[in-house]
Amino acid sequence: MKQYGLLLIAVVALGACQVQQRQREDQTRADPALATTELVDIAVVSPEVSTSDRRVLAAAIRAAARNVLINRKHYAVPRDVFVDESAASSNATDAGTIARAAGSDAGLIISLQQWETGDLLPKGRIYAGGTARLVASDGTRVLWERSFRDWTQVAARNVTATNRAEVTRDMLRQVISEVLSNLPPKPRR
């Protein structure tokens, strides 16, 4: 009986010490019309960021998305300033109408709702979550959408107080690259 008591205490203690693993969520949806829609230009709309460092993250998200769309997916992407000025001059507020105002075929909007950096210094990881949507310039159809939550990103190097900002930007670029990885590239002619 004494052995069972010790075993039970060990199991309970071990269970209390275990860290609950986060379940990574990842869902992609593509409108069947995406396969037949000719997309050449994609406007990257100003991201929606629900964290305290909104300005820094929004600029980095937009730059990372532009880089992926141009260099990996081979789309033409108008400059951010042009997209913003087009949106302001036409009073466009959603990704589709902003894309139309900028003369693009679609608008990409990335919403970052989760950016947890509490484990960055001690463990070198962050958790990210949000949604990326590609909206047709007619504003009526979401052509492609990927939702993600609790994506764990591990730093490629040791994180210190002095390199934290740089490592954070690198990790954000990696998250955006992965989010856009299954967006179909522009068809080659």
Answer yes or no: is 17 within a domain. Answer: no
Answer yes or no: is 3 within a domain. Answer: no
Question: 70: pLDDT confidence band, cut at 50, 70 and 90?
Answer: very high
Selection from 57, 41, 142, 161 nearest residue 101 by Cα = 41
Answer yes or no: is 6 within a domain. Answer: no
Q: What is the pLDDT of residue 139?
A: 84
Q: CATH no. for residue 158? A: 3.40.50.10610
Percent of the chain with pLDDT over 70: 89
Q: What is the pLDDT of residue 4?
A: 56
What is the Cα–Cα distance from 124 to 1, expressed in whole angstroms?
A: 44
Phi and psi at residue 85, to the nearest 5°: -65, -40
Count of the separate structural domains present in the chain: 1
Q: What is the pLDDT of residue 2?
A: 57
Q: What is the pLDDT of residue 19?
A: 55
Helix/strand/coil (H/E/C) assignment for every residue in the chain = CHHHHHHHHHHHHHHHHCCCCCCCEEEEEECHHHHCCCCCEEEECCCEECCCCHHHHHHHHHHHHHHHHHHHCCCECCCHHHHHHHHHHHCCCCHHHHHHHCCCCEEEEEEEEEEECCCHHHHCEEEEEEEEEEEECCCCCEEEEEEEEEEEEECCCCCCCCCHHHHHHHHHHHHHHHHCCCCCCCCCC
Answer yes or no: is 170 within a domain. Answer: yes
Residue 136 tokens read as 């047709």
Q: What is the pLDDT of residue 124?
A: 93
Q: What is the pLDDT of residue 9?
A: 53
5 pLDDT more than 90: no
164 pLDDT more than 50: yes
Q: Give how far the C-alpha of residue 45 lies from the chain's centroid of Cα atoms, to the nearest Å.
A: 13
Answer yes or no: is 18 within a domain. Answer: no
What is the Cα–Cα distance from 32 to 1, expressed in whole angstroms?
A: 64
Answer yes or no: is 184 within a domain. Answer: no
Q: What is the pLDDT of residue 189?
A: 64
> What average pLDDT does the segment 121-129 reach?
94
- Which of residues 118 and 11 earns the better pLDDT score? 118
Question: 16: pLDDT confidence band, cut at 50, 70 and 90?
Answer: very low
Answer yes or no: is 128 within a domain. Answer: yes
> What average pLDDT does the segment 69-92 reach?
96
Q: What is the pLDDT of residue 140?
A: 84
Answer yes or no: is 138 within a domain. Answer: yes
Q: What is the pLDDT of residue 154?
A: 93
What range defines the domain where residue 101 resides? 23-179
> What average pLDDT does the segment 121-143 reach?
94
CA end-to-end span of the chain: 76
